[in-house]
Amino acid sequence: MKNQKERYESNDLRIYQRLNDRSRLSDEDLAYFSYLEKGFKGEKKFDEWTSKLSDNWLFLNDLLLECNKSEFQIDSIGINGETIYLFEVKNFEGDYYIEGDQWYKTSKTEIKNPYEQLNRTESMLRKLLNEHKINFKIKPHLVFVNYDFFLYNAPMNLPIIFPSQLNRLINELNLQRFKLNVNHFHLAEVFLSLHKSESKYKQFPNYQYEQLLKGIICINCNTYITEVKKGKLVCQACGYIEDLSNGILRSVEELKFLFPNRKITTNAVYEWCGIYKSKKGIWKVLRENFTKNGHGKYSYFD
């Protein structure tokens, strides 16, 4: 399979991960964080399956598109022959059932109908293709990747792929003998050019610098480093050893990511890293890795 667009953790998932390490999330935020994390893991699981497809397939993952001023998100698109295979991926766990047009978790809580979601995505995609005078068929699939998922009353006519059917789906898709040509790559280019990196409706959680715990977090186990020894960070929890300068640079990236408007100064990084008590050492790391602006106590790095 030729992958034209990889899947990465979204910015909001990354923010929640950082906030979860450095603060106490409210129950609501925690639930949303786990929803994002679960969704991402499910999609990565699906990517493992599609990586087994032959080179007759072109894939694009995680697209955010817009049509008629409405945004829609696509988990995966597979291109082959004259068809765009549209995949909506769900990592649902536990027992669910369908009653009429409604979907429920067995605790009787109604959930957002994923099939309706797929329908909406399909119709938006169709409009977008029409707008660009692109003639491809669309074949939608609703894929469940979690083996601990069960759906009662699933009508056979829905384009659902259960985990136990994924192997067969991949084998079936691998039977397609159409070779990729310039039209397919052109189509992929169009999708990439229309892809938006950030949703205009995105709402990030509210967080303040003061609320967050300061320190360097172990890259291996996400706990706070408590020991600096001979230029190394030693994690007491998992034993992982990392170069101090590496840990400082990671923390600077994190600081820049969470607070893009804050200036990167020696003092700011000293405070953010917490554990390392040498301003001179921090200044040296910054000096070696960033461009210095200004002089003396007004200098900052970028």
Q: Which of 171, 220, 278, 289 is in the footprint of Zn ion by CB under 5 A?
A: 220
Closest distance between Zn ion and the C-beta of residue 301, in Å? 27
Considering only the stretches 106-114, 131-139, 202-210, 218-226, report the one whose residues sit in contact with Zn ion under the rule CB under 5 A. 218-226
Kindly tell me which of 50 and 251 has the beta carbon lying closer to Zn ion: 251
Considering only the stretches 111-119, 189-197, 219-227, 289-297, report the one whose residues sit in contact with Zn ion under the rule CB under 5 A. 219-227
- Number of residues this chain uses to bind Zn ion (CB under 5 A): 7
Closest distance between Zn ion and the C-beta of residue 228, in Å? 14
Q: Does 143 bind Zn ion (CB under 5 A)?
A: no
Closest distance between Zn ion and the C-beta of residue 220, in Å? 4
Kindly tell me which of 112 and 229 has the beta carbon lying closer to Zn ion: 229
Closest distance between Zn ion and the C-beta of residue 225, in Å? 8
Closest distance between Zn ion and the C-beta of residue 292, in Å? 32
Q: Which of 185, 224, 240, 259 is in the footprint of Zn ion by CB under 5 A?
A: 240
Site for Zn ion in 34-93 (CB under 5 A): none
Kindly tell me which of 143 and 228 has the beta carbon lying closer to Zn ion: 228
Q: Does 218 bind Zn ion (CB under 5 A)?
A: yes
Considering only the stretches 58-66, 104-112, 227-235, 258-266, report the one whose residues sit in contact with Zn ion under the rule CB under 5 A. 227-235
One-letter-per-residue 3-state SS of the chain: CEEEECCCCCHHHHHHHHHHHHCCCCHHHHHHHHHHHHHHHHHHHHHHHHCCCCCCCEEEEEEEEEECCEEEEEEEEEEECCEEEEEEEECCCEEEEEECCEEEECCCCEECCHHHHHHHHHHHHHHHHHHCCCCCEEEEEEEECCCCEEEECCCCCCCEECHHHHHHHHHHHHCCCCCCCHHHHHHHHHHHHHCCCCCCCCCCCCCCHHHCCCCCECCCCCCECCEEECCEEECCCCCCEEEHHHHHHHHHHHHHHHCCCCCECHHHHHHHHCCCCCHHHHHHHHHHHCCEECCHHHCEEC
Q: Does 241 bind Zn ion (CB under 5 A)?
A: no
Strand partners, 115: none
Residue ranges that bind Zn ion, judged by CB under 5 A: 218, 220-221, 235, 237-238, 240
